[in-house]
Structure 1
């Protein structure tokens, strides 16, 4: 203290006491002036950022009108949504596509010509694909951020872009595409930082699903990111099956984050399995139902008359639809429910439980998921490419005879049919679960159960997937 000229008595120095300059000293005056210049004693986030609105629904007609006979994946549907946003005059300069590596894996090469890959030095070489229609293109004014094989770097870019609304008054809209298993599992702490710093944007878990990303085994097959996503309080997570669901979710995300300026961000899982995309249903309130987490997709006759209710999401919806055909061929009436977000259903139901507990004398608030199935009866089977814990999260509010099929266990390097048989989520196992449910609720007898189970390719003695 004496060496630095700090005016402390010898006894205070021996006791290692702190020194506080007097109130009108040069040091205190300087510190207070700096704190005032920084906005005062209490930190305050000031937001004077311009508001942005999503493009009209008509801009996405190529996706909401269905794909006809052409097949496509939800990953490619998202790339097409991004392409439309990059061409939108009011939004294009704010869109920030981010990928850590393998842009072509996610179909992002379609954006090379539109946006280009950002490089401070531009492109100083001729790429090996220079003679193709979608050649690799780097540019000083490129918009795509390709960070190499570095999830931490890509997440840092997402965080920088997603908080630019507060720091630089720029409403940047980042879309970070990555292998879904390499998100929460690898950089979960950085995603938590995004939530803590009120980051905005879209995290896209591409090549999602334990059985949909086939042939890559334990390292890549994700069956739990949606489960982990529910632990992030201001993260909205969705697992859509169809292109029109993606359009509704992305438009709402832009509206809430950049028009209403809400401090939330989104996680959307997308798959690389191709199938026909249907058109957006014309029924009333379909947009709100998609965003709430579930809606009735189809019924043999009506939901009221259905004996079976099959719940599907993501690419596994195709397995559910095939099971529906088989059960209808057996003479049963079936309703199909598209579950866009088990996490949204769970959170809203828990909010209702909390409100009812704190206000016991008021009329009880009924959770959306409970109202959804209020006028139905029969057997309910939920099927997911994620762990059973995900659809089981809403079990408290579902009717009885609710069965869950999921992908608990490690992945395998096999084909999709083999994987779905291994994890017991293919049409045979879906029909099996439905028939067992019908037997248990008394709708069919022992003989009918045995006869109908005999038509299914089921190995009842196979090893539990979680033990292999």
Structure 2
């Protein structure tokens, strides 16, 4: 949040090694290479990099992945491409995760499908602040009479169901983009005083682990009448929350 107050600071929270590679390549081009029209080269990049021993997948195939990484958001997978077995008519939710939080979102994706019959698509949010800056620029363009749609709205266009954003930072970080998301919005984050314990215990404490994401997703769907209201209580009891 503090870095977002500096227009020269481009902050990223990458989840995977290939995202870091794309961001570093783009940073070198922008700071030292040939600038695009209207592009300010007097900037610096700030990347949050984690040291947890987690599997690093290959970059997804498809158009626009690199663009999405640089702009701040892209769809990592769908319930179908992840191979999770949710019913064809299952309620659907969009899980947006930044940094290491995407790993718990991916675990939640499988739990939602296998234990609750819910389909979840998972998105990697590499930069909440860059998404916000782009959206603010789009708002300013509209006031000048120009037609422009924020990138976050373009990316999520047609995505079914509500959106649940998850971050290891405080909720205010993903909430930066809430006003530009057309779908129902909710978020999870590590708000409050810190906790000295294992990473697993800390994430359970702050409610950002896989099981907590499942409960939050079910609660969001229950408010919309897409899952039974009792599912939330059942999930809390099942996971000991």
Same fold (TM over 0.5): yes
> Which position in structure 2 is the counterpart of 1:393?
176
> Which position in structure 2 is the counterpart of 1:437?
220
Count of paired positions: 227
- Name the CA shift for 1:398/1:246 in 2 (closer, same or farther; >3 Å): same
> Which position in structure 2 is the counterpart of 1:324?
109
> Which position in structure 2 is the counterpart of 1:276?
55
> Which position in structure 1 is the counterpart of 2:87?
none
Q: CA deviation at 1:322?
A: 0.9
Q: Is the Cα–Cα contact under 8 Å of residues 306 and 335 in structure 1 kept in the other structure?
A: no
Which secondary structure does the structure 2 equivalent of 1:337 belong to? strand
> Which position in structure 2 is the counterpart of 1:285?
64
Q: Tell me how far apart the structure 2 counterparts of residues 457 and 401 of structure 1 sit (CA, whole Å).
A: 27
Q: Tell me how far apart the structure 2 counterparts of residues 402 and 350 of structure 1 sit (CA, whole Å).
A: 18
Q: Tell me how far apart the structure 2 counterparts of residues 415 and 229 of structure 1 sit (CA, whole Å).
A: 28
Which secondary structure does the structure 1 equivalent of 2:238 belong to? coil
RMSD: 1.6
Q: Tell me how far apart the structure 2 counterparts of residues 449 and 259 of structure 1 sit (CA, whole Å).
A: 52
> Which position in structure 2 is the counterpart of 1:349?
135
Which secondary structure does the structure 1 equivalent of 2:117 belong to? coil
Q: Tell me how far apart the structure 2 counterparts of residues 402 and 444 of structure 1 sit (CA, whole Å).
A: 17
Q: CA deviation at 1:456?
A: 2.5
> Which position in structure 1 is the counterpart of 2:201?
418
Q: CA deviation at 1:308?
A: 1.0
1:70-97 deviation digits (Å, cap 9, x = unpaired): xxxxxxxxxxxxxxxxxxxxxxxxxxxx
Which secondary structure does the structure 1 equivalent of 2:239 belong to? coil
Give the counterpart of 2:167 among 361, 364, 384.
384
Answering whether residue 79 of structure 2 is matched by residue 294 of structure 1, we say: no
Answering whether residue 14 of structure 2 is matched by residue 245 of structure 1, we say: no
Gaps of 5+ in 1: 1-226, 459-468
Which aligned pairs between 1:47-58 and structure 2 lie closer than 5 A? none
Q: Is the Cα–Cα contact under 8 Å of residues 306 and 376 in structure 1 kept in the other structure?
A: no
Q: Is the Cα–Cα contact under 8 Å of residues 435 and 453 in structure 1 kept in the other structure?
A: no
- Name the CA shift for 1:410/1:260 in 2 (closer, same or farther; >3 Å): farther
Q: CA deviation at 1:338?
A: 0.3
Q: CA deviation at 1:406?
A: 0.7
Which secondary structure does the structure 2 equivalent of 1:279 belong to? coil
- TM-score of the superposed pair, with normalisation by structure 2: 0.89
Q: CA deviation at 1:259?
A: 0.9
Give the counterpart of 2:29 among 241, 255, 262.
255
Which secondary structure does the structure 1 equivalent of 2:74 belong to? strand
Q: Tell me how far apart the structure 2 counterparts of residues 290 and 245 of structure 1 sit (CA, whole Å).
A: 6
Which secondary structure does the structure 1 equivalent of 2:140 belong to? helix
Gaps of 5+ in 2: 36-40, 82-89
Q: CA deviation at 1:323?
A: 0.8
Q: Is the Cα–Cα contact under 8 Å of residues 218 and 231 in structure 2 kept in the other structure?
A: no
Answering whether residue 93 of structure 2 is matched by residue 314 of structure 1, we say: no
Which aligned pairs between 1:88-103 and structure 2 lie closer than 5 A? none
Q: CA deviation at 1:306?
A: 6.5
Give the counterpart of 2:144 among 340, 354, 358.
358
Q: Tell me how far apart the structure 2 counterparts of residues 377 and 284 of structure 1 sit (CA, whole Å).
A: 20
Q: CA deviation at 1:452?
A: 4.0
Which aligned pairs between 1:176-215 and structure 2 lie closer than 5 A? none
Q: Is the Cα–Cα contact under 8 Å of residues 309 and 381 in structure 1 kept in the other structure?
A: yes
Q: Tell me how far apart the structure 1 counterparts of residues 136 and 60 of structure 2 sit (CA, whole Å).
A: 29
- TM-score of the superposed pair, with normalisation by structure 1: 0.47
Q: Is the Cα–Cα contact under 8 Å of residues 248 and 287 in structure 1 kept in the other structure?
A: yes
